[in-house]
Amino acid sequence: MQTFQYSRPTTVDQAIQAGARSKTVQQNADVRFAAGGTTLIDLMKLDVEHPDQLVDINALPLARIETAPGGGLVLGALARNSTVAHHPAVQRDYPVLTEALLSGASPQLRNMATTAGNLLQRTRCMYFRDTAHACNKREPGTGCSAIGGHNRTLAILGTSKDCIASNPSDQNVALTALEATIQVQGVRGKRSIPIQEFYLKPGATPNREHVLEPGDLIVSVTLPPPIAGARSHYLKLRDRAAYEFALASAAIVLKVNGGRIEHARVALGGVGTVPWRSHEAERELQGHAANTTTFRRAAEAALKDAQPASENGFKVELAKRCMVRALTVSTQSA
């Protein structure tokens, strides 16, 4: 790990000014914000991230969880994953988020990891984390070792010829199904970014993962008011039962009335280069009977554009079965 400067601002404006000195917002950025450090510090030790300045934002007043004006819930950027998961309002109104958070990492990491840090969590692709291998996400233009290498855990949706790295987060799959909005402050003022517009697919620039600009600071995440009568569920399939990333996961928000689906939101994890919202699946669900036939048709629609690599073709059927099961459980709980 190279030497770096360390600062600990006490106001949001101070943090923004410090962050604005950075030339980039991705790898090799001059300035990086640090909160729980559960990803960033690891990557600094591996020489994947090597900022010149580390801005510790833990002193900022951004950890509150409170009711949003007009309903819904505001999660402070520094709210710890464990705090969010066990918050009574989250457990009552957004159980899909509680289930997603508790399925990730370990209790110790959840006690440190923050809402905003999880939004910016970087891929676990082995080639990204090993500087001995070529990686366009880490060093643009060098190539993608994963495409012809070990890619069993990597993405099958949203990939490109330059990158097939999967997004590792559980939280963000649930937030996508909940249609969360990310509140950002920066040198250009305040912005509200729907989560589906926040992430960027790799395309030819896999090093650019989101729409943040230098100095932009996530201050909170807003969850819309819960849909009356809806049920939600998060299902995660993985190689082992704990402390493991998803091979496939599904976050479902479903409202069934009289045996027919009135409202459906579907997001997939473990299979996309970004938290994957499936509008195709939602169209197949909306207005149709809540049964296995409908669920399977929706799953087929969700995975129709999958492009598996040499070792992860099994994810296509796995993701379909994961989604069908999550829909079934959501219906049974209604």
Tokens of residue 330, six digits: 């959501």
Q: Please report where in the chains the tokens 């490109």 appear, as a residue.
A: 160
Cβ proximity of 166 and 123 under 8 Å: yes
CATH class for the region spanning 231-332: alpha beta
Distance CA 127, CA 237 (A): 23
pLDDT recorded at residue 1 = 65
Q: Is the dihedral of CA 240, 164, 138, 175 positive or negative?
A: negative
For residue 72, which amino acid is it? Answer: G
For the chain, how big is the Rg over CA atoms in Å? 19
pLDDT recorded at residue 27 = 47
**Tens-digit pLDDT string for the chain (334 aa):** 689 999 999 999 999 999 998 766 554 568 999 999 999 999 999 999 999 999 999 999 999 999 999 899 999 999 999 999 999 999 999 999 999 999 999 999 999 999 999 999 999 999 999 999 999 999 999 999 999 999 999 999 999 999 999 999 999 999 999 999 999 999 999 999 999 999 999 999 999 999 999 999 999 999 999 999 999 999 999 999 999 999 999 999 999 999 999 999 999 999 999 999 999 999 999 999 999 999 999 999 999 999 999 999 999 999 999 999 999 999 985 4
pLDDT recorded at residue 266 = 98
pLDDT recorded at residue 309 = 98
> Phi and psi at residue 327, in whole multiples of 5°?
-65, -40
Cβ atoms within 10 Å, residue 124: 15
Distance CA 234, CA 244 (A): 15
pLDDT recorded at residue 21 = 86
What DSSP designation does 288 have? Answer: S
Cβ proximity of 116 and 35 under 8 Å: yes
Spatial strand order in the sheet of 276-277: 231-237, 248-257, 260-269, 276-277
Q: Which residues contact 182 (CB under 8 A, 6 or more apart)?
A: 119, 192, 193, 194, 195, 198, 218, 220, 221, 222
Distance CA 191, CA 185 (A): 6
The pTM for the full model equals 0.97
